[in-house]
Amino acid sequence: MIKTRKRRNTGRVTLQDVAKYAGVGSMTVSRALRTPELVSDKLREKVNQAVEALGYIPNATAGALASAQSHIIAVLLPSFTDKASADFMQSLQQVTNKHQYQILVGCYEHQPHKANDVINMLLQSNPAALVAFGSQLSDTHFLHINNANIPVVSVASQTNDQADISINCSYEKATYELTQYLISQGKRCIGYIGALQGQRLHHQQITGWSRALLKNYLNAEQSVTTPDPASLAYGREALTEILLRQPELDAVICSHESIALGMIFECRRRLIKIPQDLAIACLEGTENSAQMFPSMTSIRFDYHKMGKEAGKHLIALLQSLKNDDDNALDENTVINYHYRFEIGQSTP
């Protein structure tokens, strides 16, 4: 026997419920909510009373589709948990909120093969724009994005000429400078500990590290990397592994602050003196680097500032498009962000 199940009522108040309560037509309710200036004061008041009494929540997505306008900005992130993403998102949202845009976030958790599905999910919401932070957007990704015909902002991501606004970070240059500094302080056996192996950030960092060592005729083979995210535990494990390979190690550069902190804990356990026995420095440092003991030598990027800058340029672009400026997307905007090099007590 086949049983037919009745469709369950979601309980959500509809436009028709508001119209019935107010004693007007659905089109009148829709007009009163979307273009209240076209409705009489009396009708508008009846509709507002019905909305308030029933607790009606307008369907913003349907309204956007009907008007061919959207107040959603889609943001693609590699992770919800890393501090760079959090700092960037906080500042970006502060800017967009002032202009009545809402953020819709999609995260692929550092798994590039999932990025395409996340992008497609974001595009289904009919966003006004897409912001990609710390991501590697391929030609395949842009094929889907171009079909949506929306502007793209690429921040701290793999360089791609198809983005309308690009905010770039000099990760390779920063790693090169940090390695050169350690060499200038007399360090000759400098290792690299990195997380998220195979991804954009890791590739640029390890390129800068090896380039500086090879330029000075030093060994660029002492590296330990993992495809997993950075952590304190990994820092402790990586120090053990790299010292087994190279007992003469006198300095190490870590891709993330948490890895460096884990290494400091392990050095204390082993009674390894910092920086006398081993100098430790990190890339992707934060304000916490100065509060550690010893304070951490680090490279720092201002992701808060990047979020504000991305938001400011995106809002300006969207306003130009809204005003039918045909030249708004003719030229790409490229902004190169520098970094701060903070010397702490963890290096000579």
- Closest by CA to 108, choosing from 120, 96, 125, is 120
pLDDT at residue 34 in the model: 77
Q: Which two tokens stand for residue 131?
A: 């912001």
* Nearest one of 165, 102, 125, 146 to 328, comparing CA atoms: 165
Q: Do 15 and 51 form a contact (C-beta atoms < 8 A)?
A: no
H-state helical runs in 216-256: 232-245
- Which residues are within 8 A (CB) of 61 and not within 5 positions of it... i.e. 6 or more apart? 72, 125, 126
pTM metric for this prediction: 0.79
All domains in the chain, ordered by first residue:
15-58 (1.10.260.40), 72-169+304-338 (3.40.50.2300), 171-300 (3.40.50.2300)
pLDDT of residue 160: 63
| Res 85: pLDDT | 92
**Residue-level pLDDT at 197:** 78
Q: Output the pLDDT for position 9.
A: 42
Q: What's the pLDDT score for residue 329?
A: 58
pLDDT of residue 157: 80
Per-residue pLDDT, 317: 92
Q: For residue 328, what pLDDT is reported?
A: 59
Q: Could you state, in chain order, the average pLDDT of each consecutive group of 10 residues for the chain (348 residues)?
A: 39 80 87 82 88 74 56 92 91 94 92 86 89 83 79 82 87 97 97 87 93 96 92 96 95 97 96 97 93 95 95 93 66 86 96
pLDDT at 68: 52
pLDDT at residue 61, as a whole number: 55
Beta partners for 191? 252
What pLDDT was estimated at residue 1?
39
Tell me if residue 129 falls in helix, strand or coil. Answer: strand
Alpha carbon distances (Å) from 96 to 99, 308, 312, 328? 5, 9, 8, 19
Those residues whose C-beta lies under 8 Å from the C-beta of residue 71, and which sit 6 or more positions away, are 60, 64, 100, 101, 102, 128
